Each structure stands twice: as C-alpha cells, then as structure tokens.
Structure 1
Amino acid sequence: MNVHSRWLMISVGLGILLNPLNSSMISVAIARLQHVYRLDFTVVSWIIFSFYISSAIAQPVMGKASDLFGRRKIFLAGLVVSFVSSFLAPLSPNFGWLIVSRIVQSIGTSMMVAVGMAIVRIHITEKQASALSVLSIFQSGAAAIGPFIGGILVHWWDWPAIFFVNIPFAVASFLLSLRTIPKDEPPTSVAVGMSFRKWFELIDASGILLFTVGLVALLVGLLSAKPSGHVSLGNIIVGLIGLLALGVFVRHELKTASPFIPFRTFAKYPAMTWVNVQFMLVNLLFYALFFGFPSYLQMVRHVSEFHTGILMLTLGLSSLVASPIAGRWIDKSGPRPALVVSAILMTLGSVWIVTLNQTSPVISMSLVLAAFGVSNGLNAVGMQAALFKSSPKEITGVASGLFNTSRYLGTILSSLLTSIIMGGTFSFGGFRLLGVILAVIALAVVFISVRLREPRQLVKS
C-alpha cells in the first residue's frame, strides 16, 4: 500500500469515526444535561433518540445520493455539516435547539459513514481487506473510547466540550480529503437529467416521511407511559397516529418499486430475517447497558463523570480485545458457537445487574461491563458472518442496508425501554428491573443463536 493510500484511509477514517464517537460520548453527559436543563429523564432521552432515528434514515438516503452526485462531494459536504452543527450545538438557547443541532450532526456524520467505505473500496485496490479492517478499527475504536473521552471532557470542561471536540477532527479530515480523495467522475446522464420528483421516488421520500412521522409519534405516545400508570389522552392519540402512519408505511413499502425498507426481501430470505432480528435484540441489550450504566453510576452511586468514563472504558477495551479473537474463532468454527457464548455472557451480565446494590464494589461493576464488552466483540464479527452465511451474494448491498437498519432499531428500542422503566427519574429500583428484562431478552437471544446452525429450519418450526 503506497503513501497516498495510507493518507486516504486516514482522511476517511477521521471522518467516519465522528458518528460512533458522538453516539457514545453522550452516554456520560445525560445526567449533566438533565441537571442543566432541569428536565426529567424521559425528555433528556430524546438526545439519544434523535441521533439514531436521523442516522437510520440518513445513511441509506445518502448512500443513494452518492451514486447520483458523487461520493467525494457527499463526504466533504458531511464534514461541513458536522463542523457547523458541532460549533452551534453548545450555543443552543434551549434543549429544543440542542436536539435540532444533534439531528443535523447525525445527518452530517451519516453522510460520511454512508460513503466512506465505498471510497476506500473504489480507490484502494491493493490489500483492500486490510484497508477496510483499518476503517472498522476507526469506527469500533471511537465507539469504545467514546464514554471515556466524554467523561473527561464533561468533567473538566462541561457538556459543550463533547461537541467542540469534533471540530479538529472535521477540519483535519476535510483538508486531507481535499488532497487525497480523487475527484468524482462526471454524473451519468440519468443523474443529470433526473428531476427532483424522480429522485424523490428513487430514495422513496414518501416512505421515509411516513416512517419518520410514525416512529416519532409512536415514541412520544409510548414515552408517556410512566411507571405511575398515568397516560394523557393526547399522548394516546399521538401514539395511535404513529401506529396508523407505520401501518400505512408498511403498505406503501410493499407496493413501491424502490422501497426504503424492502419488506419483501425479508419474506423471501427468512434465515436472513432471523439474523436481523437477533442483531436488533443484541443491540437493544448492549445499548440499554451502554446508556443505562453511566446514569446508574452518576445518579445512584454519585460517581463523577471522570470516574464514570474510566469505568466505562472496561466495556470498550473488552470489546476491542474480543473482536480479533472472535475473527479467528469464527474462521475455524463458524458464527454459531461465538454467538451462543455471546448470548450467554449477556444473560449472565444482565443477571449480575440485578445483584448490584448501592454499595457494590468496583470489581463487581467491572465484571458486568466486561461481560457485555466481550459479548459485543463477539457479536461485531459473528453477526456479520451470520449475515453473509444467510443472505445470497446477489443481494449483499440490500442485506447490509437492512443489517444497519436493524442496528439502529435496536438502539432506539434500548432507549425506549430504559425511558419507560425509569420515567422522569433514574432510580436504583428501575435499574434492577431493567436487569431482569434484559435477562429475559438475552435468554431469547440464546435460543435464536442455538438454532442458527440450521437457518432454514427456523421458518419450518
């Protein structure tokens, strides 16, 4: 690999790490934002919801846009959007504007994730697998150390620092990308002559709108179901509107020629469907702990942001150590054994949460984080291998897109579950209840993992 290729990887890597970094740093800032804006836990959770909903929509849309307008243009535009949103977010006059900045930030970072891998695939032809693995390290490493970095930044410079820290990464990536990413080829005649109406049909703008309205309305309705049992009529109506919109969305997707989420693909390849269901559940489990544990440390144990970040580093480091081991193991034995062990570790970790109390030693908390971290490392490789095993080569692109959608749905469901259980205030009793529910879900994942050996039989049973 020549020098230019190395610098190309660095320029792209500095850009794509911003999405996982910003999705993970915020976990340590939840308690601080709740205090600053004097909001309950449910409302503050929208800082998480907004990012993942936007990312789930923006990444496939920007992937299609890059095919029409050029990957270099989309990547550079994403860096500009990320820079502007990271600069403006700390200046937000209220929490609503902070959410808007967060949404814009997720769109900008998603633009880079959507095309970063494609840029490397196209322009680096030697040792391509090694190049792609390096980019994966940028992403997984950023997600792993995000809580640690967030803890240090919030502790020493308060919550605005988790936005300002993006600026040097965005500037460095932009300057390097201008020099290293080759210019896009002239757009095809299809792209040149395509009207906005045709382009909206291609990206399924109607489906995206229905999906967004339905999901947001349903979340608003569900989040009104606090532990007290009180639910307002207005929120019930909003929730029903969300269900109706999602129903219309499913019907629309089954009829349109270019669906945002191709449900017919799920029906045609049931083994792949089960892999996506499992991936959604393991992300629900992982991110429920990922966002819930820092709140437990800060609000129940009164641990500082700095020490919370250090403790959460156990989760990230365990995941990073497990990933290469998982790769060698899966190459020899296939994905099933690793996924079964991963599910068992998540079950044990969830049960261990129930045993924690307000004076549990650090080693006890670290064991929970290590169990989930190793499990995440096994899943990162195992679920991807299971996807390739269960999906035909001719639909690899569609399968990968659906796979990422499942990831985001899992993260959204994790935040939803935590918010409903906790209501307005994060409590020790709620955290224990969360552990019980996670243990039940983890047992379901064990069951699915065991049956992955004969994926076709999943449909017949």
Structure 2
Amino acid sequence: MSVRSWWLMISVGLGILLNPLNSSMISVAIPRLQNVFQLDFTVVSWIIFSFYIASSVAQPVMGRASDLFGRRRIFLTGLVVAFVASLLAPLSPNFAWLIVLRIVQSIGTSMMVAVGMAIVRIHITEKQATALSVLSIFLSGAAAIGPFIGGVLIHWWGWPSMFFVNIPFVLASFLLAWRNIPKDEPATFVAQKKSFREWFVLIDASGILLFTLGLVALLVGLLSAKSSGHVIIGLIGVILLAAFTAHELKAASPFIPLRTFAENPAMTWVNVEFILVNVLFYSLFFGLPSYLQIVRHVNEFDTGILMLSLGFCSLVVSPIAGRWIDKSGPRPALLVSGILMTLGSVWIVTLNQSSPVISVCLALAAFGISSGLNNVGMQAALFKSSPKEMIGIASGLFNTSRYLGTILSSLLIGIVMGGSFSFGGFRVLGMILLVIALSLVFMSWRRRESLQLEESQVHQVKM
C-alpha cells in the first residue's frame, strides 16, 4: 500500500478506537461512580448499557447519513461531537447529566466507526483485507487494553480522567483526517437544495424514528427481562420494529433497504454470524473474570494480566489474518476461527475446580486467535457481499450486530447465573457457548459449499 493509504488508515484508526476504548474503559469505574453519586450497582450499570444502546442505534443511522451527506463531513463532525462530550462529561452536576453526555459521546464515536470503515472501503482499493486488519488492531486493541487503562487513570487521577484522555486522540485524528481523508464528491451531497419535506423523505426520518424507538424498547426489555413492566416494553419494541419493516418495504428512499438485503442474503447472514460471534466472545470476556475471582479466588491484578492475553493474541493475529484473507478470501479464516472457538468452549465445559489457573491461558489464546480472524474475516465478508452504494449503512448495521451480541451476552450470563455466580453455572455457560461455536462452524462450512456451487455455475455458463 502507498504511504498516503497508511496515513489515511492512521487518521481513521485514531478516531474509531474511541468507541471500543470508552465502552470497555468505563467498566472499572462502576464502584467509584457508586461512591461518588451514592447509587446502587443496577443504576450505575446503565452508564455501560446506555453507551451500547446508543451505539446500536447511532451506527446504522450515521452510516445512512454518510451515504447521503458525505463520509468525510460525518467523520469530522463525529470528532467534534466526541470532543465536546469528553470535555463536558467530567463537569456533570449529577448522574443523569453524566448519562446524557455519555450518550452524546457514544453518538460522536459511532459516527466515526460507521463512516471510517466505509472510507477505507472506498479509498483503499488494493489489499483491503490488510487495511481492515490495521483498523482491527485499533478496534480490538482499544477494547482489550481499555480496562487496564481505565484502572490506571482512576487510581491516579479519578474517574473524570477517563473522559479527558479522549481529547489528545480526538485532536490528533481531526488534524490527520482533515489532511488525509479525500474530500467528498459533489454527488454525495444529494440532500442539498431540497425543501424540508423532500429532505425529510430522502433521509427516511419516519423509518429512522421507528427503528430507533423499536430497538431501544427491545434492548431495554432484554436488559431488564426479570421485570414484567420491562417485558411489556420489549414487546412494544418488537411491534415497532415490525412496523418499521412494513414501512421500509414501501418507502421510496428507505433508511435500511430491506429489499436489497433480501436480494443479497449473504449480507444478512454475515450480520447473523457476527451477532453469534459476539455473544460467544463477550460471554467469555465478562464471565471468565468472575470465574477467576469468585470461584478460583484469583486477585484482580492477576485476573487482569490473564485477560490481557486474550487481547494480545487478537492483536498479533489480526495483521496475519489480513494477509491471509487478501490471498485466500474470508472463508478459510472464518472456518478456522469457528474451530478454535469450539476447542475453547470444550475446554470450559471440561474445566474443574482444581484445574491449574495458568491453563486458562490456553482457552484465552484459542478465543483470542479466533477473535483476530473474525474481526478481519467478518468485515471482509461484509464488503464482499455488500453493494458499494450502500456500504455506509451496511457498515453501520454490522457494528449494530456487534452491540446486539454484546448485550445478549450480558443477558445470557444473567439468566444462566441467576442471583450469584457459581462454577455450575459457568459450566452450563460453556455448554451454551459450545453449541454457538458449532453453529458458527456449520455456517462457515455452508458458506464455503454455497460459494463453490456459485463458482461452478458461473464456470458452466462461461463454457
């Protein structure tokens, strides 16, 4: 790749790392925020869930906005929004304002994630899997070291420092992006010189509203499944999403072109697989530290060191995966990833209370390597299956799938463990993860057979 391509990736990477960094870094601040605002654990936990929910909604919305108004413009605007939120959040007079600014921060960082992938897809035409592997290092690396960075910042400078630390990244990304991201072509500004009514129809504001309300209601219902009132909210969410589906099939300029997804089933299946991948990965990411500390009585520092091996393996594998996928396509990498996740899940199921703690590294290595393969392979599969004209919305929905998987993993752990974490529950969780891993292997194999059949049919037509 050219020097300009590398600078473009660094410009985008410094922006997109803010979303995973802030989503993982805040987890270690829960006890401190409880003490500062005098709230219970359930209430304070919404500082995590609000970020996930806002990201789930904002990323496809901003992907759609970038397709209409220009990707460079949306990326730079996202940096400004993230800067303002990071500057104001530490000054919040109460927890409610902190949640509001946390949501604003999520929207700003989501603008960069959804648009950043599309910028790379359009402006880097050679060795795209390698380019994706570089972005994956920014994404997975930030998520992996987020808890460690958060712990250091809180220990020395308090919880406000977790917001202030974003500012140098924002400034560096803005300066580099202004210089290196090509200006949007005039054709992208399709919403200019139109009346408000025409603009309203063009962006499908009704569809965005139905999608946002439906997804938020559904996620609130899932996250509070034990409450009958919230179950009703979840059902309302399902109804609103059904209304959204009906609306999109009739809309002249749909926010999410469902007919295009129906015509490209491979794009739909990539998102389904990505949801399952993240359910599996984050169930381990959230569940294993509790197993180590509660069941095996490992201290927090040693637990953090063990968990870093997960991110380290993912970081090491990502650039290797990029070169492999450039040569062989995403299918082999995704198949190997599914096999590794299966082996890791088998390890959890066969684990007993006297197994050496150091052996945890074997499972973490298997899941870490599979994560590195998945981060690049799934994105490459999405690009391969998505029409170029809708890559922004496709990238946004892809990242929404990530957050849906994350939220479902939290729900799964809560259902399996009940009121307290136990070794028996952890083993049951391992069995569920094994089923998910085997499903992913099957899906990857079916994709391989399907593509071989398509290639055979194309070859016969040419003959």
TM-score, normalised on structure 1? 0.82
Q: Which residue of 2 aligns with 1:100?
A: 100
1:28-107, aligned counterparts within 5 Å? 28-30=28-30, 38-40=39-41, 43-66=43-66, 69-107=69-107
- 144-153 or 281-290: which moved more? 144-153
1:267 aligns with 2:267: no
Identity of aligned residues (%): 79
SS of corresponding position for 1:191: coil
> Aligned partner of 1:98: which letter?
L
Task: Please say if residues 347 and 363 of structure 2, whose CA atoms lie closer than 8 Å, have aligned partners that are also in contact.
Answer: yes
Matches within 5 A, 1:362-381: 362-381=357-376
2:249 maps to a residue whose letter is L
User: Bigger shift: 207-216 or 382-391?
Assistant: 382-391
Deviations 1:117-158 (A, max 9, x none): 555677789998876654443334323332332343344444
Q: Distance in 2 between matches of 1:316 and 1:374?
A: 9
Q: What residue in structure 2 maps to residue 414 of structure 1?
A: 409
Aligned partner of 2:346 in structure 1 is 351
Equivalent-residue separation in structure 2 for 1:424 and 1:96 (angstroms): 27
Q: Do the aligned partners of residues 198 and 392 (structure 1) sit closer, same or farther apart at CA in structure 2, a change above 3 Å counting? A: closer
Higher mean displacement: 100-109 or 411-420: 411-420
Query: Quick check: 172-181 or 273-282, which moved more?
Result: 172-181
For residues 117 and 434 of structure 2, what CA distance do their matches in structure 1 show? 35
SS at match of 2:252: coil
Distance 1:187 1:74 in 2: 15
Moved more, 51-60 or 277-286: 51-60
* Deviation of the 1:209 alpha carbon: 2.1
CA apart distance, 1:32: 5.5
Aligned match of 1:22: 22
Deviates more, 1:397-406 or 1:55-64: 397-406
The alpha-carbon deviation at position 83 of structure 1 amounts to: 2.0
The C-alpha deviation readout for 1:159-214, integer Å capped at 9, x for no partner, is 44332221221233334445555666778784332234433333332222222222
What corresponds to 2:195 in structure 1? Answer: 195
CA distance in 2, matches of 1:456, 1:125: 23
**Length, aligned pairs only:** 453
Describe how 1:13-412 pairs up with structure 2 within 5 A.
Answer: 13-30=13-30, 38-40=39-41, 43-66=43-66, 69-117=69-117, 134-178=134-178, 190-226=190-226, 231-232=227-228, 234-297=229-292, 306-331=301-326, 333-356=328-351, 361-388=356-383, 390=385, 399-412=394-407
Q: Give the drift of 1:93.
A: 4.6
Q: What residue in structure 2 maps to residue 452 of structure 1?
A: 447
The question of whether the paired residues in 2 share the 8 Å contact of 1:48 and 1:415 is answered with no
With over 3 angstroms needed to count, the CA separation of the structure-2 counterparts of 1:366 and 1:45, relative to structure 1, is: farther
Q: 1:78 to 1:290 in 2, by over 3 A?
A: same
Displacement of 1:107 after TM fit? 0.6
Offset of 1:97 from its aligned partner? 3.3
Q: Structure 2, unaligned stretches of length 5 or more?
A: 455-463
The 1:305–1:89 alpha-carbon spacing in structure 2 relative to 1, beyond 3 Å, is farther
Letter paired with 2:81: V
Deviations 1:288-326 (A, max 9, x none): 222333444556666565444332211111112222333
The residue type paired with residue 191 of structure 1 is A
Structure 1 residues 298 and 260, CA gap change in structure 2 (3 angstroms) = farther
Deviation at 1:251, TM superposition (A): 1.6
For residues 5 and 440 of structure 1, do their structure 2 counterparts lie closer, same or farther at Cα, with a shift above 3 Å needed? closer
CA distance in 2, matches of 1:146, 1:290: 13
Aligned partners of 1:32 and 1:222: how far apart in 2? 26
- Give the distance between the partners of 2:60 and 2:412, measured in 1 at CA: 26
Structure 1: 5+ residue stretches without partners: none
- Once the two structures are overlaid, the 10-residue window that deviates more, 209-218 or 32-41, is 32-41
Once the two structures are TM-superposed, the CA of residue 282 in structure 1 deviates from its matched residue by: 0.7
Q: Give me the whole-angstrom Cα distance separating, in 1, the residues matched to 2:358 and 2:17.
A: 30
Inter-partner Cα distance in structure 1 for 2:40 and 2:198: 43
Report the residue type matching 1:109 in the other structure. T
Q: In the alignment, is the contact (CA less than 8 A) between 1:148 and 1:310 conserved in 2? A: no
Contact residue 63 and residue 395 of structure 2 kept, 8 A: no
Render the CA deviation track for 1:340-386: whole Å, top value 9, x for unaligned. Answer: 32122222323333455667544122222212111111212322343
Q: Which moved more, 1:27-36 or 1:405-414?
A: 27-36
Equivalent-residue separation in structure 2 for 1:81 and 1:157 (angstroms): 24
Give the letter aligned to residue 152 of structure 2: I
Instruction: Tell me the secondary structure at the aligned position of residue 261 of structure 1.
Output: coil
User: Do the aligned partners of 1:26 and 1:162 also contact (CA within 8 Å) in 2?
Assistant: yes
Counterpart amino acid of 1:39? D
> 2:330 & 2:188 partners in 1: Cα distance?
40
Query: Residues 288 and 199 from structure 1, CA distance in 2 versus in 1: closer, same or farther, beyond 3 angstroms?
Result: farther
1:427 shift after superposition: 5.2
Q: Distance in 1 between matches of 2:95 and 2:416?
A: 22
One-letter amino acid of the structure 1 residue matched with residue 370 of structure 2: S
Q: Which amino acid aligns with 2:40?
A: L
| CA distance in structure 2 between the partners assigned to 1:406 and 1:341 by the alignment | 21
* Contact in 2 for aligned 1:40/1:424 (Cα 8 Å): no
8 Å Cα contact 1:155/1:306 also seen in 2: no
What is the distance in 2 between the residues matched to 1:117 and 1:410?
A: 19
1:94 and 1:303 mapped to 2: Cα distance?
35
3-state SS of paired residue (2:40) = coil
Distance 1:222 1:115, change over 3 A: closer
**Partner SS, residue 193 of structure 1:** coil
- Distance in structure 2 (CA, Å) of the matches to 1:92 and 1:458: 58
Task: Tell me, yes or no, if the aligned pair for 1:89 and 1:102 is still in contact at 8 Å.
Answer: yes
Q: CA deviation at 1:105?
A: 0.8
- Three-state SS of the structure 1 residue aligned to 2:191 is helix
1:40, 1:425 within 8 Å by CA — same for their partners in 2? no
Q: 1:97 to 1:217 in 2, by over 3 A?
A: same
Q: Using the alignment, how far apart are the partners of 2:32 and 2:361 within structure 1?
A: 23
TM-score by length of 2: 0.81
Q: How far apart, CA to CA, are the structure 2 residues paired with 1:302 and 1:166?
A: 34
